Structure 1
Amino acid sequence: MNQRVRLSLLVVQIFVLTLMVALLGRLFYLQVAAAPKYKDAALSIQSRDVINPAIRGLIVDSSGVPLALNRVGLAITVDRIALDKQSDKGAIVLASVSNLLGLAYADVYRATRLCGELPKNDKAGCWTGSRYQPIPITKEADPEIALQIVERTNQFPGIGATPVAIRNYPSYAGVNAAHELGYIGPVTEADLSGINGRTYYRSETIGKTGLEYQYDSFLRGTPGIRTVIVDRKESITRESQNTAPIGGNHLVTSLDVRLQASVESALSDAVGRARASGYPGDSGAAIVMDVRNGQILAMASYPTYDPNAWEKGLSVKDARALFSEKNNVPALSRPLQGLFAPASTFKSVSVVAAANAGYNLNAIYNCPSETQIGNRAFQNFDSKALGRISLKKGIAVSCDTLWYQIAYDEWVRDGGLRPKSDPNDYFFKAAEGFQVNKKTGIDMPSELSGRLANRQWRNAWYAENKDFYCNYKDRAAKNQLTPFLIELARENCLDGDKIRAGDAVNFSIGQGDTVITPLKLTQMYAAIANGGKILRPSVAKAVVSTDGRVIKKISAKQLGTLPATQTTLNFLQDALREAVTAGTATGAFAGFPVAISGKTGTAQVFGRNANGTLKADTSWFASYGPTQNPRYAVVMMVSQGGFGASVSGVGVRKIYETLFGVTGSKVDPAKAIFPDGKPPIKIPKISPSTKVKESK
């Protein structure tokens, strides 16, 4: 190798070595020498989002009368940044403000803490928003007190006052509608996690139940977002964006405040009437549905609660009272979540079953005082023998024993305790055709489906409960070790997976293990009235923007058709009319000037109340009217209310009086809720100042 080549290699080696030294030096500088500088720079570029919730849209009735709106409140707020800079972290200031407002310091302290700052078991009432926005500790401050706070900033540093929107349910015409409207509340960590498939922002107020929840994405609007840049000391250095909130859209419902008020009153009166007759009358439901399109015109649940209570602030005691069995669980929506045996209202299903099984609907049947099924005598209501009567008359006077015989005969034909591989199951299939075991599909959350006690349900029930019944003496409470219950457990252990004769005959009259909601029964009778169309119930009619544009219209939807021929439907409609003119509902509708069709129901209930008394019967009345041109299906149920006719039947009559403008035995069309007999279809103009229309 010559001298020139050696020199070139030396130059290359020196160049490579120099580069390595430079790279190592730079690396040392970045990671060691300049580390504090870059750490400070990273900490100084942090963004924080401050959410400004939008004004929530209104909920109005079918004429534009507000059911839920927003009123102005005066909030006392806390600036956490200012308080945290104080030597005691603002403890003295918070104590002074608490005393001035008459609030407990512990509650105020918790309300101004971010949820992540509190222990896991003490997060109730924490602040879900950001520390970079005013945190309200009350939304309804006395203006004079607020003025004192604002004027004495040296005594109350970091405390301010600002007007805020408060959700309000104005109760026009005395309307409550708490279970239909629902309520709103702050987002929780579970909401923010997206567990329910919705996207929320911190410090937002969202719908929790009812229509407020169901249509929250429309009502809530779009919150404004202010993004600030803070340094490592959490001081705001600049603002990177600030978008204004966009108000929510309005929801138009099919409810009518005048009718809703009347239904709530009629239901309350029915409960009172039951109690006056010596029954507990612990709860109830009443519903009015338009049979043409499934729209709910009124719906009430008893007991109820003040829908404004959530905005006023609930104590732990108040919250527990809403779900207390001692108070009959006011928070429970009986129309959607109450499950009850339908009793004789279910005989409409049995008529369809008998017709499909080939029975002559125009034949004469025997209605004895009791029918022997196996080793047990199943009795007629009040043990009355009515002789040989037509099936139509049997429906009208609510004979049970004729159905016992028909249901038993079909059970035997299907194989009894050793059923055929493909039994006819006419009664079960008729109930399936009425969609007894399905939810109605109403546009409200938390609806429960009914229970259809057919063979499939029985097998599932047996698999779940066999071990308990086969070891009943060891598993049951001492007060349940009665001879009857022990024998019942033995039978359930041996053949609890089978449909027994008693199950079949009880099913035919709406007793036994089959239960439905009042809303489902309303849907069923609406289908009978409209010629067989099973319609999806709906409370909302449309979503309307703030400038009056219809964004979404909720149209009628047919979910199925009753499994009955037109001949069967005609017979059933005639029988339901006769129940009112010459049957169990005659007294309740005596002298009523509008033709109504319906069916009473008095359901026996097994078990005892908390005070040890036996549970009383459930009172039902399911109906539609006018008979010749049906518009409305009206159903009322009073739990532990006694007889169907005298309690719920009279309550339903009062509702029809309001609908048709009836006083005594005369109709005044000017007093009718809907003068032409048709609820409004047109979407009304919405204004917070809309007044309640008075009946002429």
Structure 2
Amino acid sequence: MAVTGAERSRLRLLVLRALVLTLFLTLFARLYYLQVVGGDDYRAKAADQSVRDIVVQPQRGLVVDDMGRPLVANRLSWVVSIDRSVLRKLEEDERDKLVARVATAVDQRPAKVERRLLDCGSSGAESGVCWNGSPFQAVPVATDVDQAVALRILEQPEDYPGVVVEQQNVRSYPSPFGVNLAHVLGYLSPITEEEFDSASEADDRSLNGASVVGRAGVERQYDEWLRGMPGYRRVSVDSMGRVLGDDSEIASTPGDTLVTSIDAKVQATVEKELARSIATQRATVDKVTGRKFAADSGAAVVLEAKTGRVVAMASQPTYDPEVWVDGITDKELARLYSEKAGTPLLSRVTQGQFAPGSTWKPFMTAAALRNGYSADTRLPCGASYQVGNRPFKNFESGTYGTIGFAKALEVSCNTFFYAIGHNYWKKFGSDVDDVDARDPLVEGAQEWGFGSETGIDLPGEASGRIADRAWKRAYYDSQKSYYCGIAKKPQTADTSAFLYKFAREFCVEGYAYRAGDAVNFSIGQGDTMVTPLQLAVGYAALSNGGTLWQPRVGKAIVTPEGEVIQQIKPKKAGKVKSTKAQLAFIDDALKGVASVGTMSWKLGGFPLDQVPIRAKTGSAEVYGKQSTGWVASYTKDYVVIMMISQGGTGSGSTGDSVRKIWETLYGVEGDRVVPRRAAIPGTTAPTELPTFAEDGSILPPVGPMTDNPKKKAGKKAGAKAGQGAGTAGGAQ
């Protein structure tokens, strides 16, 4: 029977009703599942999407001097940040306008703001500028913003959607007595992607993507103690990502305080005198070259003779540590590394390497007295000493007849020490092919710590160089192909006669340790180099009876509440083998240098009977450059070393400044000592720590240090105990 049209229409309606009913039933079932069965779970997820975690950076720990004067502190800074989740919700045109508006307000280029908003690791990201933190956290794009700018942005939220303005802690440098101390304090910069990944793998919760870390000086060496522990703040946000209010907060833990052995008052004098001496020499004509001294760099250091603690340390050229606070510019960074500017980032005290000149002679004396010579030895001090067909001259061709060690040190006679170096070479090492030949002077230098790092608690220390047979052979092997390549070709206009001649000689016998090398070594010339700090450690051992100390800047770690959690005690690096009688003999000879020798003309009227200074001057000659001047001096309490590269003679370039430092240390006025005028109360550095009061103030030391090994809770105490001790170089 045929189906009519009306019946077909009714059938279609029934099918349609069935489909609609099925759809409603499915929708109802789904809604029931979402709201009843899975309601709790989805409500939790929705709530989670409206709450965000924000890292609260801790306040970094203080760095103070031995009297409690802040060397590095913190200050509040207005910081402008942009919430990228809000940016993503804006139209492209609106987004670009907002970035441009913010850039104009904070006086930056829009492109720079855009670079700061990029995630590290993404295309176009620039290390140190890109964002390494949480994707849900506002990204800082400008710090140290003027308060008027910050308030204007806060007062116009409709013009700055997603822009967060708040005050944060940044590093400040109080500079007591005007000190700079940049090379000791160091600086901070944002954590790198590699460092962040390593911290995440190690589950190091003290670091996060927005952390800054120490890059140099004590900021780097004691970074784990200074950085503190970040906190977290949970905030409620609306659909546009705008903060509605706080949900919960875990407070951050401030970093610990580092007490140093630096004394700001002494440091100020050392910095001032080093800068003054360099300026004076630059205005002085060098009688040898006929032009003014270049005086291109210099260094000065004051150590406690009995402990090796660093009281003051200065290097020139230097820089302003404030340049790192708001993110250093490419131009500023280029200058810090620029040779034309004198590489200001380089610490001449710990990283500068220079020929020691005659300041080397006391250590050669100690080696000679232990290897066949005696205090009664007499040798000629003539105008020159002949080695083969070459005369090695005395300084300014001075002659003093036949003299002993004491007089040789007093007048700094080169030819006296030439004879000793040559005699050892003839006795033990005339075979130039014997790399292992014995050399008592080289052995002596190594015994006093030269050629090795001192172990100071500052990163990047140089080891100096003892140019012995092994070094010369290694240097020859590394440079042979270069110089032989020059020697095998005809001389061209681009190759100077000196270089061509040197290359030919080097190619044939550059490995040979000849008599000339031995006599140069005996007076601190040639290829041997030391750092000013190494020399200071050696002279401290002369003062204290032969103990070599690892220099220390850090003195103690103290919690923000004032609890001593670690004392960084002095650590012995070794003991020289010279006898007490030998050391006393050298000590007495150096006393003569100050009273009647090469340093005496700078110490006229100084009360040497009350402050018996021992000293040694030095003028190191460098081919193609002016002489490097040294003065090394000490008492039973302190060591004072100062040098100026291309500054002339030792006493002539630095003598006046060295005297001024001694006057500051002991309170010398004219020809008398006034103890109350001494820079450090009591004249010698305090063994006690500053007092940390409950109100947060820090007072000068008043009582003995107490040994409290208790570690701060909540800061990975176990890990830090091990890592901190290593960082402090054996702190106990």
CA distance in 2, matches of 1:477, 1:266: 48
Query: Contact (CA 8 Å) 1:283, 1:639: kept in 2 or not?
Result: yes
Query: Contact (CA 8 Å) 2:436, 2:470: kept in 1 or not?
Result: no
Q: Which runs of 5+ in 1 are unaligned?
A: 1-36, 608-614
CA distance in 1, matches of 2:486, 2:538: 38
CA drift at 1:50: 4.1
CA distance in 1, matches of 2:594, 2:491: 45
Aligned: 1:616 with 2:621:
no
Inter-CA distance 422–439: structure 2 relative to 1 (3 Å threshold): closer
Please list, as runs of the form range in 1=range in 2, the aligned pairs for 1:211-250 lying within 5 A after superposition.
211-225=218-232, 243-250=250-257
Inter-CA distance 329–406: structure 2 relative to 1 (3 Å threshold): same
Greater CA deviation, 557-566 or 240-249?
Answer: 240-249
Inter-CA distance 619–197: structure 2 relative to 1 (3 Å threshold): farther
| Aligned residue in 1 for 2:386 | 372
CA drift at 1:357: 1.9
Aligned: 1:59 with 2:43:
no
Inter-CA distance 43–485: structure 2 relative to 1 (3 Å threshold): farther
Q: Secondary structure at the match of 2:349?
A: helix
Query: Contact (CA 8 Å) 1:631, 1:677: kept in 2 or not?
Result: no
Inter-CA distance 249–124: structure 2 relative to 1 (3 Å threshold): closer
Inter-CA distance 417–483: structure 2 relative to 1 (3 Å threshold): farther
Inter-CA distance 402–271: structure 2 relative to 1 (3 Å threshold): same
Aligned: 1:603 with 2:607:
no
Aligned: 1:264 with 2:271:
yes
| Aligned residue in 1 for 2:396 | 382
Q: 1:532 aligns with which of 546, 551, 565?
A: 546
CA drift at 1:234: 9.8
Inter-CA distance 281–418: structure 2 relative to 1 (3 Å threshold): closer
RMSD: 3.0
Please list, as runs of the form range in 1=range in 2, the aligned pairs for 1:109-258 lying within 5 A after superposition.
109-119=114-124, 122-194=126-198, 199=204, 200-225=207-232, 243-258=250-265
| Aligned residue in 2 for 1:583 | 597
Q: Secondary structure at the match of 1:403?
A: helix
| Aligned residue in 2 for 1:513 | 527
CA distance in 2, matches of 1:161, 1:661: 51
CA drift at 1:504: 0.3
Inter-CA distance 379–118: structure 2 relative to 1 (3 Å threshold): same
Which amino acid is the alignment partner of residue 561 of structure 1? K
Query: Contact (CA 8 Å) 1:344, 1:603: kept in 2 or not?
Result: yes
Aligned: 1:273 with 2:280:
yes
Which amino acid is the alignment partner of residue 506 of structure 1? N
* 1:649-694 Cα shifts (integer Å, max 9, x gaps): 222111111101112222211101234332011111247655899x
CA distance in 2, matches of 1:510, 1:638: 16
Q: Which runs of 5+ in 2 are unaligned?
A: 1-37, 285-291, 702-732
Inter-CA distance 517–254: structure 2 relative to 1 (3 Å threshold): same
Greater CA deviation, 497-506 or 129-138?
Answer: 129-138
Which amino acid is the alignment partner of residue 252 of structure 1? V
CA distance in 2, matches of 1:330, 1:422: 40
| Aligned residue in 2 for 1:4 | none
Aligned: 1:647 with 2:661:
no
| Aligned residue in 1 for 2:671 | 665
CA distance in 1, matches of 2:393, 2:518: 15
Aligned: 1:107 with 2:112:
yes
Please list, as runs of the form range in 1=range in 2, the aligned pairs for 1:433-452 lying within 5 A after superposition.
433-452=447-466
Query: Contact (CA 8 Å) 1:469, 1:490: kept in 2 or not?
Result: yes
Query: Contact (CA 8 Å) 1:249, 1:544: kept in 2 or not?
Result: yes
Q: Secondary structure at the match of 2:118?
A: coil
Aligned: 1:417 with 2:431:
yes
CA distance in 1, matches of 2:490, 2:338: 25
Which amino acid is the alignment partner of residue 204 of structure 1? S
Provide the TM-score with structure 2 as the length reference.
0.83
| Aligned residue in 1 for 2:412 | 398
CA distance in 1, matches of 2:264, 2:107: 37
CA distance in 2, matches of 1:196, 1:646: 56
Query: Contact (CA 8 Å) 1:661, 1:669: kept in 2 or not?
Result: yes
CA distance in 2, matches of 1:605, 1:326: 19
Q: How many residues align?
A: 644
CA distance in 1, matches of 2:304, 2:353: 23
CA drift at 1:570: 1.0
Which amino acid is the alignment partner of residue 115 of structure 2? R
CA distance in 1, matches of 2:88, 2:62: 38
CA distance in 1, matches of 2:490, 2:684: 55
Inter-CA distance 241–469: structure 2 relative to 1 (3 Å threshold): farther
CA drift at 1:157: 0.8
CA distance in 2, matches of 1:641, 1:195: 47
Query: Contact (CA 8 Å) 1:414, 1:424: kept in 2 or not?
Result: yes
Q: Secondary structure at the match of 1:332?
A: coil
